[in-house]
A and B are shown apart, each in its own frame.
Chain A
Amino acid sequence: MALEDYRDDCTDCSRCSYCKWIPLDHIKSARFARACPSIEYCSFQAYSLGGRLSVALSLLENRIDYNDQLKDIVWKCQMDGACDVSDKICRYNIRGLEVMREMRFRLVEDGQMLPQHKPYIDNLHEEQNMMMEPRADRGEWADGLDVKNLTEEKAAVVFHAGCRYSYDKELRETARTAVMMLRDGGVDVGIMGEKESCCGGRAYQWGYRKELNASARRNARAWTRAKVKTVVTPCAECYYTFKRLYSEIGLTIEVVHVTEYIDRLIRKRKIKLTKSVPLTVTYHDPCHLGRLGEPYVPWQGTRKKIYGQIPAWKPSRPRYAGAWGVYDAPRNVLMSIPGLSLVEMERIREYAWCCGASGGVLEAYPDFASWTAAERLAEATATGAEAMVSACPWCEGALADAVRNQDEKIKVYDIIDLVQMAL
């Protein structure tokens, strides 16, 4: 696909501003009614989905040229998809998020990259990770763990830690806990250790289309060699990449987020939670596990007009509107923990506010990323919860940083940590 293929999506925007708000039916207060960090932080219309559709049209019609402001418009966005959910409530067929993605591809392919991203992409090419770290250190996170090494052995399930858990020393204990929890739950699981490769999803979301294919090929080869049937990951971004993007380019393998797997194990009583964890927590839905984590539906169709002028596809084109993301499994796990009570924020599930870390924003616009996380933190503290829980290292990192920056007392956990406390 190319930006030109989305021209109708651009002209179809009715400029209604739904993209700026959570689904209007769900608004509970003035404070937490907004959906899109980008327009809230940057203010000008161009920084909303509707605005970006008009900018894309403007590009297609050669009304504007490349400049720094255009790059800012294109990249100062987490690509979290909240706008897309709200938009599709009424505008069924507009593919807003895809248009924004195509704009990034186009700019990168035309050599108009964001300079702040370059070192990360170079590191991906050379060291196969997005953390500016050497490849050789990737397996360190699992040092001393008694778990199969799938470069030498075979297993039905591969535990893919992802770049953040592999390299972030503050967070990696969660990954260690998770993989051992699966093993102890009777799962035939292994890891790739230092041979694990970046999923390529972050680069893809930043506009680097080809990097996804390269990563997918590497990972697919390794999984095939190890006879893997299922990929389990504790990272929401990796989950999205495997579940959705790899499927889009033709790779099919069962992809499960670790919270889904643990939910299954709890229900089968393979994991028994016995200790009380007397905490009031609120759950932050990671965008890439929730609204963006819907399964890919293979589709090819032809367009025709029905009832005179309604553009329609035969067979029906799948809609990705946030309905079928992973929302319940993490909540089920939390509700299984004795003594723990869950209180919800105002913006949850398909209309959750982003943590700020995705889409290349953390790397290129750290102030904007911090502001976005602080907004989420304010929403969490308004619930009265003692802790914020998430299911993604990027979210956990962003929210923990926000707590530190804001000097708040609320704790930040990954669900795995809480499950471990209850064992």
Chain B
Amino acid sequence: MALSRDAYRALEDIVGARYISEDPAVMDSYAYQWLAETVRPNQSKFMTRPEAALLPASTRDVQAIVRICNKYKIKFKAYSTGWYFYGAPLSEGVIQLDMRRMDHILEIDEKNMFAVIEPYVIAGVLQAEVMKRGLNCTVTGAGASCSTLVGAACYHGSGGTSIYTGELRENLLGAEWVMPNGEILRTGSLGSGCGWFCAEGPGPSMRAIIRGALGARGGLGVYTKCAVKLSPWPGPAEFPVEGTVPAYRSPLPGNFRAYTVAFKDWDSLFEAYYRIYDNEICYYAHRQWTMLGADLGPAFWMLYQDPTKSLDDIEEFARKKEVKKLTEEMRRSFQLVLVGMSQRDIEYKEKVLERILEETGGWKVEKWLEPEMEQFSLLYLLRLGKKNLNFVYTGGWIGNFMQSGTPDFVKKYEPIAEDATEKYQQTGLLVDCGADSMMGCVGSIGGGGQCGLEQFGFYDIADRRSTAAAVAWMKHCIKEEARHNIPPGKEGMYLAVGKTHEELQKDLARQPITHTWQRKIKRAIDPNNLGDRMYPTLDEK
């Protein structure tokens, strides 16, 4: 279903011929998506091909495009960096808005600690710029290559420093939103001309509507600008980087400490979470290294330090005596970074950490205390520039579970996640790296109080059986969750992309009334139904 020539010309008039295309090769580069193979017929890597792709340069362009879409009843979908199949067209007849030309940091308000950004500002860039002013931003768990605006306005937006810097959805201040009907809504204080400093007003407070169940993920208009709250950064203006690619590391000053702390069992680990919340000592707290499996992960992290090695050498590393020892030592572990605002502050935080470890029976894992390992940790954890390593084994990766809640709640589903995974790893169709391949925030709301564990699974995309097993594993996890009265985790969201309308309605009907409200909201601002079901709505009975 190609666009009518009238519609195409109208769109071309907005962005210019250079920034619109409907060529099949160009369209396939937009259709290609991570995870497509789990929901598309014949395990295709391609989602539905868009009818055209456009690159708007301004809010004015976006609004004009959306108005044309309303005039010609064309569905549209915007994406920023485009990582996730949520950003792709989910049906025929959709045009893709690639936001990469809107890549400006419009303002950094040092005094009031916020930055105003456009959609294609990635966290790695924003962080580099705000650090020059003694500030830091939340880098979402997906890493430094992701759009900060998307984390704040369209999705979940939590990361390793969220315990200190907050989640991006919390940090969202004023925003500019081209709604699906073509109107521009400026939210919070921005809506009453008072600047960007507050999401709640004076002016329309739309935070809950923007966030909805879990962000609209491109399904309900286009966020063209937003302000995000920043946090203090008592480190150097430029992050020092040393080492040979890929084993970069960072010798930060003495007020920075990175630790991998470990515990004899899950009870002790989660008890430490509570104590960390109570004492507010962490700048970063996250379970990260285990994402590659508690059994195999340590071998990989040691291998990664040696630029002469490749993944082909991982068996050799896993056989090493010291790696075996390390694997056992850090089996129930997480990572934290302490940052002192002064020398006294770092000394205090160190003492509190010592006390927490003493009371919970925990320990600092020795290998990670070595200067080069600590420098590697500091760089990796604070910049999150290597987060795509979760794809390193096979190119195919899924994160299941990740229901967030109190440590006691998360502790409850941890064994369920392990059991549900072990069986699939043992078939040999998923990477057998240890049934605990769980990572997640220690405290995903500023100050702590809530955490989550995401169970990673690795499948070989090039292997049809392995890909099929990954899908089966997701379905199995949902069943197990239901059996234990736990809501479905991220796997439910992944699989929903491939479901029929009827299947999806059945799922939504079982969920809280949120999706009924979302239907009413959508009806009000998307009268021509030009968005998609990434903003899920429950049909009227």
Contact = CB atoms under 8 A, between A and B. Distances in A.
A10 B29 CA distance: 12
Given A12-B462, A25-B379, A323-B307, A91 B395 contact: yes
B432 interface: yes
A220 interface: no
A368 interface: no
Given A46-B25, A305-B460, A307-B433, A319 B379 contact: no
B19 A310 contact: no
Interface of A: 7-8, 10-18, 21, 23-30, 33, 43-46, 48, 50-55, 57-58, 63-65, 67, 69-70, 73, 85, 88-94, 305-319, 321-323, 350
A91 B388 contact: yes
Contact of A12 (B25, B427, B461): B461
Given A33-B124, A310-B394, A64 B28 contact: yes
B397 interface: yes
B30 A91 contact: no
A322 B307 CA distance: 10
A193 B392 CA distance: 49
Contact of B462 (A8, A28, A54): A8
Of A54, A67, A317, most B-chain CB atoms within 10 Å:
A54
A11 to B, nearest CB: 5
Given A25-B250, A29-B129, A57-B28, 19 more contacts: A14-B34, A14-B395, A21-B122, A21-B145, A24-B385, A25-B239, A25-B248, A27-B125, A27-B127, A30-B105, A30-B121, A43-B100, A44-B21, A54-B29, A63-B24, A308-B425, A311-B394, A312-B314, A323-B246
A316 B313 contact: yes
29 contacts: A8-B462, A12-B394, A14-B395, A16-B145, A23-B245, A24-B144, A25-B239, A25-B250, A27-B128, A30-B121, A30-B128, A33-B124, A43-B100, A45-B26, A58-B25, A63-B24, A73-B26, A85-B245, A90-B388, A90-B389, A91-B392, A307-B314, A307-B431, A309-B428, A309-B430, A309-B460, A310-B393, A313-B312, A316-B310
B386 interface: yes
Contacts of B466: 309
B522 to A, nearest CB: 28
Interface string B377-409: 001000111111101111111000000000000
B110 interface: no
A24 B143 contact: yes
Contact of B29 (A7, A44, A319): A44
Contacts of A54: 28-29, 31-32, 45-46
A63 B386 CA distance: 33
Contact of A44 (B98, B250, B433, B461): B98
Contact of B392 (A28, A90, A318): A90
Contacts of B103: 30
B285 interface: no
A317 B124 contact: no
Contacts of B391: 12, 14, 16, 90-91
B341 interface: no
Interface residues of B, number: 84
Nearest to A74: B25
A170 B238 CA distance: 40
B219 to A, nearest CB: 19
B23 interface: yes
Contact of B83 (A16, A24, A26): A16
Given A55-B29, A63-B28, A312 B124 contact: no
Contacts of A312: 311-312, 314-315
A64 B128 CA distance: 40
B98 A45 contact: yes
B48 interface: no
Contacts of B313: 316
Contacts of B307: 321, 323
B96 to A, nearest CB: 9
Given A26-B248, A33-B128, A306-B315, A17 B81 contact: yes
Contacts of B393: 307, 309-310
B290 interface: no
Contacts of A88: 246
A306 B314 contact: yes
Interface of B: 18-19, 21, 23-26, 28-34, 37, 45-46, 53, 55, 81-83, 98, 100-101, 103, 105, 121-122, 124-125, 127-129, 143-145, 238-239, 241, 244-246, 248, 250, 296, 307, 309-315, 379, 383-389, 391-397, 425, 427-433, 458-463, 466
A411 B430 CA distance: 57
Contact of B248 (A10, A23, A305, A308): A23
Contacts of A323: 244-246, 307
A69 B23 contact: yes
A29 B37 CA distance: 36
A350 B245 contact: yes
Contacts of A8: 395, 461-462
Contacts of B392: 90-92
Given A15-B33, A69-B26, A28 B461 contact: no
B33 A93 contact: no
B245 A70 contact: no
A134 to B, nearest CB: 39
B389 to A, nearest CB: 5
A44 B105 CA distance: 21
B29 A24 contact: no
B426 to A, nearest CB: 9
A194 B306 CA distance: 46
Contacts of A63: 24, 28, 46
A14 B397 contact: yes
A19 B145 CA distance: 10
Given A23-B385, A30-B129, A44-B55, A319 B26 contact: no
B272 to A, nearest CB: 29
Contacts of B395: 8, 11-14, 91, 94
B26 A46 contact: yes
Nearest to B139: A24
Contacts of B98: 43-45
Contacts of A94: 395
A90 B300 CA distance: 12
Nearest to A90: B388
Contacts of A307: 296, 314, 393, 431-433
From A25, A55, A316, residue with most partner B Cβ within 10 Å: A25
A64 B388 contact: no
- Most B CB contacts (10 A, CB to CB) among A21, A44, A88, A323 go to A44
Contacts of A26: 241, 248
B146 to A, nearest CB: 8
Contacts of B100: 43
Given A45-B26, A321-B307, A89 B246 contact: yes
Contacts of B24: 58, 63-65
Nearest to B296: A307
A11 B45 contact: yes
Nearest to A313: B312
A67 B26 CA distance: 12
Given A89-B245, A307-B431, A11 B29 contact: no
B83 A17 contact: yes
Contact of A309 (B83, B122, B385, B431): B431
* Residue from A17, A53, A307 with most neighbouring chain B CB atoms (10 Å): A307
A58 B310 contact: no
Contact of A45 (B30, B309, B429, B460): B30
Contacts of B312: 312-317
